Amino acid sequence: MGRWNSTSMPGFILMRLTDSAETQLVLSLLLLLIYLITGLGNLGMILIIRLDPQLHTPMYFFLTHLSFLDLSYSTVITPKTLQNLLTSTKSTSFLGCFTQLYFFIVFVAAECFLLSWMAYDRYVAICRPLHYPAIMSTRLCCALLAVSYATGFVDSTVNVFYISRLDFCDSNVIQHFFCDTSPILALSCSDTYKVEIIIFICAGSNLVFSLITIPGSYLSILSTILKIDSTAGKKKAFSTCASHLLGVTIFYSTMIFTYLKPKTSYSLGKDQVASVFYTIFIPMLNPLIYSLRDKQVKKAVVRIMQKKAGSRQ
Residue 3 has pLDDT above 60, yes or no: no
Distance CA 170, CA 173 (A): 9
How many CA atoms does the CB half-sphere of 254 hold within 13 Å?
Answer: 19
pLDDT band at 200 (very low <50, low <70, confident <90, very high): confident
Q: How many CB atoms lie within 10 A of CB 197?
A: 12
Given CA atoms 56, 61, 65, 70 in this order, what sign does their dihedral have? negative
Rounded Cα distance between 232 and 225, Å, is 11
Q: Cα separation of 150 and 164, whole Å?
A: 21
For range 100-122, the mean pLDDT = 93
Specify the amino acid at residue 7. Answer: T
pLDDT at 132 exceeding the cut of 80:
yes
* Nearest Cα to Cα of residue 251 among 90, 66, 123: 66
Instruction: Calculate what percentage of the chain has a pLDDT beyond 90.
Output: 35
Residue 142 has pLDDT above 90, yes or no: yes
Q: What is the mean pLDDT of the chain?
A: 84
Mark out the alpha helices in 52-93 (DSSP H runs).
58-86
Written as one string, the DSSP assignment of 6-17 is TTT---EEEPPS
pTM: 0.88
Please give the average per-residue pLDDT across 121-132, as a whole number.
91
Residue 167: predicted pLDDT: 84
Check residue 1 and give its pLDDT: 37
Q: 138-164 and 193-226 helices cross at what angle (nearest 10)?
A: 160
Beta bridge partners, 4, equal 168
Contacts by residues 303-311 (CB-CB < 8 Å, ≥ 24 positions apart): 303/52, 303/54, 304/48, 304/51, 304/52
* Most confident range, picked from 123-137, 177-191, 200-214, 297-311: 123-137
Q: Residue 4: pLDDT above 70? A: no
pLDDT tier at 2 (50, 70, 90 boundaries)?
A: very low
Examine the pLDDT at 6 and tell me if it is beyond 70: no
* Residues 51 and 294: beta-carbon distance below 8 Å: no
Average pLDDT over residues 158-187: 86
Report pLDDT for 260.
62
Q: Given this model, what pLDDT does residue 267 score? A: 56
Secondary structure string (H, E, C) spanning 217-286: HHHHHHHHHHCCCCHHHHHHHHHHHHHHHHHHHHHHHHHHHHHCCCHHHCCHHHHHHHHHHHHHHHHHHH
Radius of gyration (C-alpha) of the chain in whole angstroms: 22
Mean pLDDT over 93-102 rounds to: 91
**Whole-number pLDDT of residue 18:** 77
The answer to whether the CB of 276 falls within 8 A of the CB of 25 is no
The pLDDT tens digits of the residues spanning 42-87 come to 999 999 999 888 889 999 999 999 999 999 999 999 999 998 888 8
Domain count, the chain: 1
CATH number of the domain within which 183 lies? 1.20.1070.10
Q: What is the domain extent for residue 174?
A: 3-312
Whose CA is closest to 84, among 36, 12, 33, 34?
12
Instruction: Give the least confident one: 46-60, 245-259, 264-278.
Output: 264-278
pLDDT in the model for residue 268 = 56
Q: What pLDDT is recorded for position 204?
A: 80
